[in-house]
Structure 1
Amino acid sequence: MGLARVLTPFGGGAGDAVDWSAVESAYGVTFPADYKEFVSRFGNGTIEGRIATLIPVVTSNPMVRRVGPLRDSLRSDPDWDRWAGPRSELHQLDRILVWGETDSADVLAWIVSGVGPDAWPLAVWARDDAAWTAYDCGMVAFLVSLLRGDFVRCPISDTSLVGVPQARFLHDREEERLAEEGVYPWDD
């Protein structure tokens, strides 16, 4: 995984064990292979306190943060149906499956389509642009390109992660443990 060269877990263990058969049955989709590997190695947590990554969870509890479709209120809001660049028939809000978010209120997602999951375009709602942009890459390639500074224009509203030589990933379990000790790891 190319991400291991630019992202390092810190603190306690990272990664999540997911019953992919159960999750994919409940979600009605097969998840991309690079994402499954990311979840196994890193999981549910944050990159430098700026990007939160989510995992799929089978639950009806609306308070559980997890991979999921764009909220109904946003799917029906015409202000959220703005796209930068050419738009294809795939670019529909009901096809958005959110896997992450930034501390700048950006949304990171896939555009679920009839092609295999490894070919799903990635979509970013950048708050600064108030529009979606589609990228022809997977989640891991997107994160690697962001952290290396490979994009001509930063795809998210916060440029602080662009070109970071070695970003840190903190799993939510470890962040909660540290919080109980009164430690906020992103303050250094």
Structure 2
Amino acid sequence: MADRSDVEALQRILHDAWGADEHVDWAAAEAQLGTPLPDDYRHFMAVYGGGCIDDLTVLPPLPTGNGWQASILGHTAGLRELWSTDDGIPGIQLGADRVLPWGSGCNANELGWLMTGPDPDHWPVVVWRRHGTPHWAMFDCGMAAFLRRLMTAEFDECPLSDLSLWGEVGTFVHHEEQERRFHAGLDPMTGEPSSFSFD
């Protein structure tokens, strides 16, 4: 289901000029997470890395060590708690240990995979929506295809409880570029002069 061609399709709409190869040690990352990760996610990390598409954060597998703490490892417990609290998706008999995050943001949405089997390229995307009813929804695609379909409005309705990226192509900025801009007194996402600077 998910493969590198999904990232190539995403690149046709989402510029990668402010992306950067995350240089992930996949053996170490997957050992810490206790699971292999989908091929499209691995390719996304090589092209874009961890960072933000406007208000939507795409998580690297592990904390990066430069002060940007968002990561799959760091968000896993929280996503699994939400799954347990809300009893997951009706009709899905999988426990909280079978959800794994890959993104968050856009007015408190959480995005992840449902680990339905041993092949991560067949894991569907699951979304927890703070303002959705029900809170959980599942989408039969990988993360890169999900992002492209969100920004091109190819779902029947917006899969998030926030419309900011629905039918709108955002701007991706890698976390290191955000950090550079912040220390230069610029807005981390736009690169424009900011009223707040860090010395």
**TM-score normalised by the shorter chain: which range applies?**
0.7 to 0.9
Cα distance in 2, alignment partners of residues 93 and 177 from structure 1: 37
1:110 and 1:183, CA in 2 relative to 1: closer, same or farther beyond 3 A? same
1:70–1:94 Cα contact (<8 Å) kept: no
Residue by residue over 1:114-140, the C-alpha shift from the partner in whole angstroms, topping out at 9 and shown as x without a partner, is 230000111000111161111111000
Per-residue deviation, 1:3:
0.7
Are 1:94 and 2:97 matched, yes or no? yes
1:72 and 1:56, CA in 2 relative to 1: closer, same or farther beyond 3 A? closer
Structure 2 partner of 1:16 = 22
Residue by residue over 1:131-180, the C-alpha shift from the partner in whole angstroms, topping out at 9 and shown as x without a partner, is 1111111000100100111011101121121122x431000100111111
1:107 partner SS: strand
2:72–2:100 Cα contact (<8 Å) kept: yes
Residue by residue over 1:17-38, the C-alpha shift from the partner in whole angstroms, topping out at 9 and shown as x without a partner, is 1011111122111100000000
Per-residue deviation, 1:5:
1.1
Cα distance in 2, alignment partners of residues 72 and 125 from structure 1: 8
- 2:107 maps to amino acid: S
Question: Which runs of no fewer than 5 residues in structure 2 stay unpaired?
Answer: 1-7, 193-199
Cα distance in 2, alignment partners of residues 65 and 14 from structure 1: 16
Number of aligned residue pairs: give it. 178
1:21 partner SS: helix
Structure 1 partner of 2:35 = 29
Per-residue deviation, 1:183:
1.0
Higher strand share: 1
What is the TM-score when the length of structure 1 is the normalising length? 0.84
Instruction: Tell which deviates more after alignment, 169-178 or 95-104.
Output: 95-104
Identity of aligned residues (%): 35
2:79–2:101 Cα contact (<8 Å) kept: no
- 1:151 maps to amino acid: F
1:71 partner SS: helix
Structure 1 partner of 2:127 = 124
1:15–1:171 Cα contact (<8 Å) kept: no
| Counterpart among 49, 65, 70 of residue 77 in structure 2 | 70
Structure 1 partner of 2:110 = 107
Structure 2 partner of 1:154 = 158
Q: Higher relative contact order at CA 8 Å, sep ≥6: structure 1 or structure 2?
A: 1
What is the TM-score when the length of structure 2 is the normalising length? 0.80
1:35 partner SS: helix
1:128 and 1:136, CA in 2 relative to 1: closer, same or farther beyond 3 A? same
2:116–2:123 Cα contact (<8 Å) kept: yes
1:70–1:96 Cα contact (<8 Å) kept: no
1:117 and 1:103, CA in 2 relative to 1: closer, same or farther beyond 3 A? same
Question: Which runs of no fewer than 5 residues in structure 1 stay unpaired?
Answer: none
1:8 partner SS: coil
| Counterpart among 49, 53, 56 of residue 43 in structure 1 | 49
Structure 1 partner of 2:60 = 55
Measured on the aligned residues, the alpha-carbon RMSD in Å equals: 2.4
